[in-house]
Structure 1
Amino acid sequence: MAQRQEELLRAAVEQIEVRGVAAVRIADVASALGVSNALVLYHFSSKEKLVAAAFAYAAEGDLAHLRKILGRRTSAVRRLRTAVRWYAPTGQAKGWRLWIEGWAAALREPALREVSRDFDRRWKAELTAVMAEGAAAGEFHCADPSSAAWRLTALLDGLGVQMTSYAGSLGRATMLVWAEEALARELGLDREALTGQSA
């Protein structure tokens, strides 16, 4: 049963990326797997519950990857730079389309709003912890890691919206420079010191 639910959630994520939250139907998810609508509804009693569960599934995958990066045995600076370079939008990443869809739908869907808020809180908490660790170890100066994580993710999310919604408006190289400059500022470093750390 768990395997079937995971298949349904993966298919729902793919269909949301292609069709958007508003347009996706139970039938689209069922058709993608060659199963009946009734089977999808057996596991998720409504489209709203399926969509919220699909976003939670995607969020857990992203958080697991972030934790893997931040859990490496290297300096906090290197871990943070690697995390920013992974999270920073490329303009082609499917994940950004998914999250932009989710943020928009969360304005009207309470269940999705809770999933999105929880994911955002946990994401910032992971970055905050590594920023606090690095500051305590004397790698850099960051007086308020929580605020720094908020500012950094706000910039990255904004760049993600720009690059995904307006393809070609900003080059990947420029976006990465801006993201690294923002990280360096939050850590009280110059960008050369930051980029001197291997990612």
Structure 2
Amino acid sequence: MPRPRTRKAPAERAAEIVTAATALAREQGLSALTLRAVAERAGITSGLVAHYQPSMDDLVARVYTDLVEEEVRDVERVVEAAADPARRLGALIDTLMDGARDELTVVWVEGWAMARRSDALAEAVRAQMQRWQTLVEGIVAEGCRTGAFSTTEPGEVAWELIGMIDGLNAQSLARGTDTTRFAHRTARAAEALVGAASGTIPVARS
């Protein structure tokens, strides 16, 4: 006898679809999120996915936001454990360039590219970029208040630091090389940008 099909509550089914899409994006990137692929990962029909997620653009934006917010929270925990602004900046560089976040680098790179064709994703990308800006700018501004840093433009410096780290990670991913070897150089460049004494931003990798 065929097994009876269990009808799930709408909220449970919708959450199941988002979970499947998130796992797929983590493994294969945002571009893998097609109606058919998400349905296969969730073990349901494409029609059921379309019923609960009528806009794939909205689903992609939701998945992007969930993945990046998880990364931001993880990095915040690492940074907050450091004792002072210089060490916090070093911890930020270390954890973002340790080679363990390649799947998130793919999500970021594809998010930037795909956002040109999706208003929902563009809004999500801008919101998450602002979250990173706020995190890094807060570290730099605190360093300025304590006298560890001397820049008068913490916001602009934060943007430059994020761009430097993102660029190196994206380049390393494309080249198939190891980003960790650039951590020491990035820390020395960060010292110049924030106006810190040479050698005061520590990183674990040299």
Q: CA deviation at 1:127?
A: 0.9
**SS in structure 1 opposite 2:165?**
helix
Evaluate the alpha carbon distance shift between residue 20 and residue 133 of structure 1 in structure 2; reply closer, same or farther with a 3 A threshold. Answer: closer
Candidates 176, 179, 194, aligned match of 1:167: 176
2:114 and 2:34 map into 1 onto residues whose CA distance is 14
Would you say 1:52 and 2:61 are equivalent positions? yes
Task: Tell me which of the two structures has the higher relative contact order, counting C-alpha pairs closer than 8 angstroms and 6 or more residues apart.
Answer: 1
Distance in 1 (alpha carbons) for counterparts of 2:150 and 2:61:
38
Mark the CA change 1:4 to 1:130 in structure 2 (over 3 Å): closer, same or farther: farther
The one of 97, 100, 106 aligned to 2:109: 100
Maintained 8 Å contact 2:86/2:202: no
Comparing 54-63 with 16-25, which one deviates more in the overlay? Answer: 16-25
Give the match for residue 70 of structure 1. Answer: 79
Contact 2:187 2:203 in 1 (8 A): no
Match of 2:131 among 106, 122, 127: 122
CA contact (8 A) 2:98 2:180 kept: no
| Contact map agreement 2:137 2:155 (CA 8 A) in 1 | yes
**Residue segments in structure 2 that go unaligned for 5+ positions in a row:** 1-9
Distance 1:38 1:9 in 2: 15
2:5 equivalent in structure 1: none
Task: Evaluate the alpha carbon distance shift between residue 184 and residue 6 of structure 1 in structure 2; reply closer, same or farther with a 3 A threshold.
Answer: farther
Percent identity of paired positions between Structure 1 and Structure 2:
24
- Tell me, yes or no, if structure 1 residue 182 matches structure 2 residue 195: no
Root-mean-square deviation (CA, aligned residues, Å) is 2.6
Structure 1, unmatched stretches of 5+, are none
* 2: CA distance, partners of 1:5 / 1:26: 14
Counterpart of 1:28, as a letter, is A
**Cα distance, 1:196 vs. partner?**
7.6
Q: Which amino acid aligns with 1:82?
A: A
Deviations 1:93-116 (A, max 9, x none): 211111111111011111111100
Supply the AA of the counterpart residue of 2:60. Answer: V
Please report the TM-score for the alignment, with normalisation by the length of structure 2.
0.82
Q: How many residues align?
A: 196
* Contact in 1 for aligned 2:25/2:33 (Cα 8 Å): yes
Whole-angstrom distance in 1 between the partners of 2:131 and 2:145: 21
Separation in 1 of the partners of 2:93 and 2:13? Answer: 33
Pair 1:135 & 2:144 matched: yes
Task: Assess, with a 3 A threshold, how the Cα gap between structure 1 residues 17 and 71 changes in structure 2: closer, same or farther.
Answer: closer
Kept after mapping to 1: 8 A contact 2:94/2:203: no
* Structure 2 CA distance for aligned equivalents of residues 196 and 56 of structure 1: 29
* Aligned-pair CA distance for 1:65: 1.6
Give the aligned partner of residue 90 of structure 1.
99
Deviation at 1:153? 0.6
